[in-house]
Every structure is written in structure tokens, then in C-alpha cells.
Amino acid sequence: MKKFIKISLAAAMSLSVLTGLSPVAKAQDFTAGTYEGTAEGYGGDVKVEVTLSEDRIVGIETDAPNETAGIGDDAIETLTEQVIASQSLNVDVVSGATGSSTGFLAALTAALEAAGVDVAALEEKDVEADTGETIEAQTTDVIIIGGGGAGLAAAVSAHENGAQVILVEKMPRLGGNTIISGAAYNAADPDRQQSIEMTDLEKETVEAIIAEVQDDELVKEWQATLAEEWEAYQASGETYLFDSPSLHKLQTYNGGDKQADPVLVDQFGDQAYEAIEWLEGHGMEFNDHMFTVLGGLWSRAHKPAKPLGTGYVDTLTEYFEEHSDEMQYFLNTEATDLIIEDDKVVGVVVSSNGEDVELRANNAVIVAAGGFGANVEMREEFNEHWPSLKDIKTTNQTGATGDGIRLGQQASANLVGMEHIQLLPMGDPETGSLSGNIEQGVQDRIFVNSEGKRFVNEGERRDVMTEALFDQEDAMMWTIVDQHSYPTGDTKNNFNETIDELIEAGRAYKGDTLEELAEQIGVDPENLVATVEEFNQAVEGEIEDPFGRTLFDNKLDTAPFYAAARKPTVHHTMGGLQINKAAQVLNEAGEPIEGLFAAGEVTGGIHGSNRLGGNALADIMVYGRIAGANAANAGSGE
């Protein structure tokens, strides 16, 4: 965590290539000196100290100890560079770090106002975006479009397989949706799962999956393998949570209404844990404790040691930096067109500082530009399941606009599953983001409506839970947890926020009794007490859960009790470019498009109609690695 961020005019000038902003324009007449301002950021107070000459902002020092490492502090650094380079406040907040960005800009504004600066003039001042340095046309082995988790994994994999790499990212930083995710990564991991006791209800779940009627021959093979594994597990006398790639595949396939491509699911399940070992081999750390993420259906989610998705992005970016002689990435650089010659993709046209530049690939191009969750028009165009999504917020960063899908169509790529758009019942009521979510795992929390009553199986699929939430008053619910989830006030959720911080910000509520909590959130106390009592009976096995829930751990019986409001939010788009198991993009005839690969949320066919929680990070790492390796070898005849 960078506690202090200090950037001077000279530093901003040297870094202006990243922003494309002019570092030479004069601001206005100032009173020279150093001035301070404070505002609320994402995690707490952001303090800014700005130094002015008689006509310029010459330095900005920021103290932001509670902003998320790799996200909030990077956003502040980016904005600091832009403000000093442009001598303007007419800069955009950094996608995925809105709270940190607005906090920094508000604190900077307060400091400038204290100096008597005409802030309105700085806010209106046009930024010259065409005076920076432009990328030169060049050729490399593999070009990657998109700097999120899939693109970074593909880049590292391509280089490991002997390729020189250029990655282009249209946003001002790397990370995409990965860096702002909850970071849960699904993979069967019996070593870590040894500490989880298996319940009778979970045993019944496995047996039902083995008995389910399947039509696809490959899926039947998974079932046969699972039956053998399950028999061996039972004979062993072990009591820890059983899991295997076969079970993971079947839950993934069934959880997507059997609409995924079994060949892709097969490869995904087999390589999910292998990709974790690959990440660990590059220095990434995961906690030993595994959990069930929202809509994950099983306790196979791994949690990185670093907050949110910063562990994935930091690990892969560090590899970039270590091999900078053969790997480059360019920010604020949008891929606008594929270069196609003789039906082969041979490069990309990018917009760099307002100019079109050709980047050519000796071997292949990989599209890893993410989904279209932040593109309202595309959501409306393809949505067939939900009511209008026009007014539904999203967990996605603003760059998730489906650009890669449109690029693929230039090469006649086939699209699959575009109508499958995933909503979560877990969005922040104001922003739609996942931040402020107080659940620590599926087993130890319940959802209640405005009457204080449960209304759904909280261990169900994401689409099932969201559909049930839409039926509640104002499509709003409360997540209820107790001390089992937050032993102390400084215990953090999966988004690096402490429960005390959330309470102080009015985003969560705390009560020493359920009745006190009910009063604070405006639900009927008798209903809430009765609801929790019934849930606790189901946990104890005294009654069958009225909603068919099978995932339990602790009762909700230990004060203090906590609540936080949640609403539906657009989270993931399951459809996209059709690929084969080599991660080659296929055309409408089902044939590989020469020179074009894809990985991550830009692809379709892996998740079917509904993605299991925790499968996205596994997907982008598995297929990012595959795409990178195969693209690196695409020009060698291998």
C-alpha cells in the first residue's frame, strides 16, 4: 500500500506519454505556496497537499492510507499525472476506482480553493489530447487486445512459449474487471479442502449429480469418472469435503442449463487447478481457507492473499516488467480494426493519441477485451431473458463495452450465447458495484426482504436468486450475518473493507440483538427473529430448509448482528466469440480463423446460460494460458 503519492511537474512531463496530455499549457495566475485539502475517498479520508508556483500546479502529494493497493492508489497516481500534465481539472475518474478518484479530486479541489484558485476555470479548461507521443508502427510475434486478467495471462503464456508480445489496453491502466473483482477462483483442491467437513446434504448433492440423466457422451464420461471417485472416497472413510475436476465440470455444465460446449468445459475443469499452480509458480499467494462464493454451489473457491484482484494483476504485470525487452504494453490505446489479408488476421489498427497506427503480428492476434456488461445498448440488443436492463447498474468497469466482439465480427467470427447475461442479487444500491457486500461466504448468511423474511435458497444459482429478488418490494434485500463472519470490527470483507468502515459510512448496520438490527433497517423485528430461528433450525438439521438450501455452516446466533442492503446488478456476459479448445476463434462455418485467438469474457460457450460464481477467474487463466501458448506457435507450423 502506497501511503504517500508524490508527483512533481517534471515527473508528470516524463510520464505524459501515458496520458496523451500536454505538459506545457499554463493554468492561470496563482499565489505561490503549498495548500491542503481533505475529502472522503473509497476507504477513508484522502488528504492532498498541492504546491503552486505563480502560474502552475508544480506538485501534488497525497496521503491516502486506506485506498486499495493496486486500485485506489494507482487511480490517484494516474489522476495526479493527468492534472499536472494538463494543468486542468477536466479529467475523468478512473474506471473501477470511482470512490478513490472522486475523493482525490474533491480533496485537490478543496486545496486549490484554499489557495484562492478559480477552480471552475480549471474544470472547464480543455485538455490538449493530441500533443503527446504516439506509438510507432511496428511488428511483433503476438498482439493482445485487452489488459485484464485474460490478456495478461495470454501475454505471459505467449512469452513463455517464445514469442515477443505487444499488449494494447484502451483504458488508462491494466486490470480490467479482474482487478475490481472479488477474486474467488474455483478449482478442486483436496489438500486445501481437507479442513472442510462434508455434510450429509452435500453427499446427497453428489449422488444426485451422478444419477442425473445426461445426453452428451462426454458428459456421461464425467459422470462415470465421478461415480468411481465417489465410491473410492466413501470407501476411504474420510469426512473432509469431497471434490474433483469431474464434479466441477458437471456442476459447471448443469449450472449453465447444459448449454455450454462440453469440450470446453472438459478442458476448463481439467486445467483449473493447474493454472493456480502456474500463478503460484510466478509468486502469487492464495489463502489456505476455501469457501463457497455467491452462486458457486460448492466450497472450491480460492481467495488470493492480496485484496480484490490485485494479486492476479500484480503477479502478471511484474512478469511484464521483468521481460520488458521482449514485452510491451500500451495504455490509452484502443484497437479499432483487425488487419486481415488473404483471410488471415495479421495485425491490428490502434488509435494512439488521435492517430491510427498499424501493429503487425508475425504469428497471431489474441482478443481478450472482456464482455459487454457496461454497454447498455448491447445489453438491450441481445437480452432475451430479463426485463429491460436499461436502468440496471453494473459491477463492471466502464471499459467492458464489447469491443472485442465487434472486432471479431470483422473477421466473420461466429457468436454464441449472446443472449445469456448474468445478473447478481448483490449490487450496491447506489453504484451497482460489489463493494459493500458483507457476506464472507454462502454458508453463514441469509437474505431477507423488506418484511424481514427469507425469499430464496441463498445457495442457489445466481440467476435463480436474482429472479427471486426482482419479485421483492423495490427489488431490494438485506444480507444478514453475525459475529461468525466478523469476529472483530476490523475484519475485512472480500473487497478490502472493514465492517466498522462500512457501518461508519452508513453502508452496513450493526445490532447487539436481532430486534435492534431490525429497527435500524426498517423491517419487522418479530419477522426477522422468527426467520433467523427457522434458519437456525435448518442448520441444526431439526427441519428441512423451506427453500431447499443445502449449504450450511454456523447458525446466526452470536451478536453482534449485521445487515447491508443489496439490489440486482449486471455482472457477466456469458456469450461472445466462439472458440475451440485451442482458443482459436471460429467463423460461422465452424472453422478456425487463421491468426485469431480469444480468451476470457469476450468468448462464449464455456458457461452456458449461467456462470457459476468463482468460475470466471479460472476461465480467464485457463484459456488465457492456452491462447497465449497456441498463438506463440501459430507461425511456426506447430
Catalytically active residues are 462
* Under 8 Å between Cβ of 492 and 509: no
The phi and psi torsions of 138 (rounded to 5 degrees) equal: -160, 170
Adjacency order of strands within the sheet including 33-40: 4-8, 57-63, 45-52, 33-40
The phi and psi torsions of 427 (rounded to 5 degrees) equal: -85, 150
Helix axes 245-255, 200-211, angle to 10 degrees: 70
Task: Give the span between the Cα atoms of 183 and 452, in whole angstroms.
Answer: 30
Taking the CA atoms of residue 306, residue 311, residue 317 and residue 322 in that order, the dihedral angle to the nearest 10 degrees is 70
Residue 524 makes CB contacts below 8 A (sequence gap 6+) with 451, 452, 518
CA distances from 160 to 326, 570, 638 (A): 11, 35, 15
> Using the 8-state DSSP alphabet, how is residue 68 labeled?
P
Task: Give the span between the Cα atoms of 607 and 265, in whole angstroms.
Answer: 8
Residue 165, beta-bridge partner list: 142, 327
Taking the CA atoms of residue 350, residue 352, residue 354 and residue 359 in that order, the dihedral angle to the nearest 10 degrees is -40
In terms of DSSP bridges, do strands 446-448 and 421-427 run parallel, antiparallel, or are they unpaired? Answer: unpaired
What Rg value do the Cα atoms of the chain yield, rounded?
A: 25
- Which of 185, 181, 286, 186 minimizes the C-alpha distance to 496? 181
